Chain A
């Protein structure tokens, strides 16, 4: 049994296997299958200040080795979360992280101030990379000045662990990562989905109501892996990796490339038990390679 404990800034994780925002609801849905306290942490479904209905149906298209989604941050708003969901989930014995979204910098600040009051939320994931909303979202995450501005303002009002979720839809993701590190981010998580598209050739129509959507799943893994590797070399803060992780070997690859922890996302749709299989497989890998701690594995790629 290797030691799987690892830290992301002040966040102490019992293992590096976490769930990605937007793929695990508010943790209760996954707790229907197994005790979520076994996980390293859970990034809850993205929240906004106010209720959002999200985009019109259809919001999903299956693609080779993956899928496109265009959910558009459907959620009932932070106040509903605090009053109705938070009391039901705060006892889970694993870090619950709120994914924070906004259309304007002011939205991000107001939302973060509310989240800062929640004792059982030890970190936020600042989402500047959602590709499926018309205003805000990815618009902040695709330029250095935009990413810097949101990170700087949110940092001012938030004193717990601040993780910034980066978009892969940029020329050089490591530049954005350095920019947010410079404004006080404690960690970066990447990658959010890639903007993609699918067409029904017979009907001559797009498959998504929004025409374009975010691509996820194993189809994006090699690109995500390259980006995590680039960012891990460029910044000193811990990197949380995601992008098509389906099994323990995938997770090991991201950790070798420099990730401190990983998020399992789209894989949950295929099988919600995959995170448990990854924790077990990671343990087995470390034992086979005679490592006492997962910390030895981080960034240990031999090039």
Chain B
């Protein structure tokens, strides 16, 4: 017998972060296992016949004292929209823990964690868990516009906060790879991590490869089960088609067959 569980959690908080992002805090019925940045949970969407499958979300925060797990839900479609409508006291079914986490940086290493859109949560979680002093951690967060950004100031204690927006309303104008962290000194990092839309991750991977920096990305392929039985979320890799849910979602870019 293994270590995966299906349980009903109780919603303790549903906080609207901006127009499309919600923070859900969920209390587990039993002591939570250790869950690390990059790992995810698969959440059931209740009371709708249109939404048959669960929706996977990266874990954002773990509070082992209060037995609370948090996720950030970004509205991408009908399923995620429905999940943002839960209220405190509702029960919500989770399958957990799923997937493999990011490789932790070594002592004294310098890292860059790049998050875009729904990929922000695991990057913040990683910055917090990295075990590195804040001066060794650079967080770079990209969005379309200032109004799409969420307030992450609390994370300044874990790393320096840097922003880009496509319209220039916050931070550097353009994509994350247009930021000086990329254009000036990418070689200074020991590891680059990225999570977000595929186009963003590929751009990050391209720059990291060019600079010769170790890079891990977290993929968001569509999945049905989340625990390796449906074989729907596969990604072509140097080891053949692998399930993103069990062999990932975190991959080193050298394992992937991306044309970058």
Contacts and interface: CB of A to CB of B under 8 A. Distances in A.
Interface of A: 22-25, 29-35, 45, 51, 53-54, 57-60, 62-67, 69, 71, 74, 217-218, 266, 268-273
B49 interface: yes
Contact of A25 (B2, B224, B229, B235): B229
Given A57-B221, A60-B232, A270 B4 contact: no
Contacts of A35: 1
B43 to A, nearest CB: 11
Interface stretch (B50-58, B101-109, B114-122): B50-58
A268 B230 CA distance: 9
A45 B50 CA distance: 27
Contacts of B225: 23, 268-269, 272
B229 A57 contact: no
A268 B53 CA distance: 10
Category for how many chain B residues contact A: 20 to 34
A29 B231 contact: no
A268 B5 CA distance: 13
Interface of B is mostly: loop
Interface in B30-65: 44, 49-54
Nearest to A28: B2
B95 interface: yes
Contact of B234 (A23, A25, A54): A54
B101 to A, nearest CB: 17
B174 interface: no
Given A25-B228, A71-B230, 12 more contacts: A32-B1, A32-B3, A53-B240, A57-B233, A67-B52, A69-B230, A69-B232, A269-B225, A269-B226, A271-B44, A272-B4, A272-B225
Contacts of A63: 52
B241 interface: yes
A54 B221 contact: no
Contact of A32 (B2, B44, B235): B2
Given A66-B52, A217-B52, A29 B229 contact: yes
Contacts of A22: 230-231
A266 B236 CA distance: 24
B211 interface: no
A269 B6 contact: no
8 contacts: A25-B228, A32-B4, A58-B232, A66-B52, A69-B224, A74-B234, A270-B44, A272-B6
A64 B2 contact: no
A68 to B, nearest CB: 10
Given A33-B6, A64-B52, A59 B234 contact: yes
Given A32-B4, A33-B6, A74-B234, A54 B241 contact: yes
A62 B52 contact: yes
B87 interface: no
List the 4 closest pairs (A to B, CB-CB), nearest first: A32-B2, A60-B232, A269-B225, A25-B229
B1 A74 contact: no
Contacts of B227: 29, 32, 272
B222 A60 contact: yes
A29 B52 CA distance: 21
Interface string B215-253: 000000111111111111111100011000010000000
A59 B3 contact: no
Contacts of A24: 229
A270 B234 contact: no
B228 A29 contact: yes
A273 B6 contact: yes
Given A58-B222, A64-B50, A271 B93 contact: yes
B231 A65 contact: no
B52 A30 contact: no
Contact of A269 (B2, B50, B230): B230
A73 B226 CA distance: 18
A35 B228 CA distance: 17
A32 B229 CA distance: 12
A270 B54 contact: yes
Contacts of A65: 49, 52
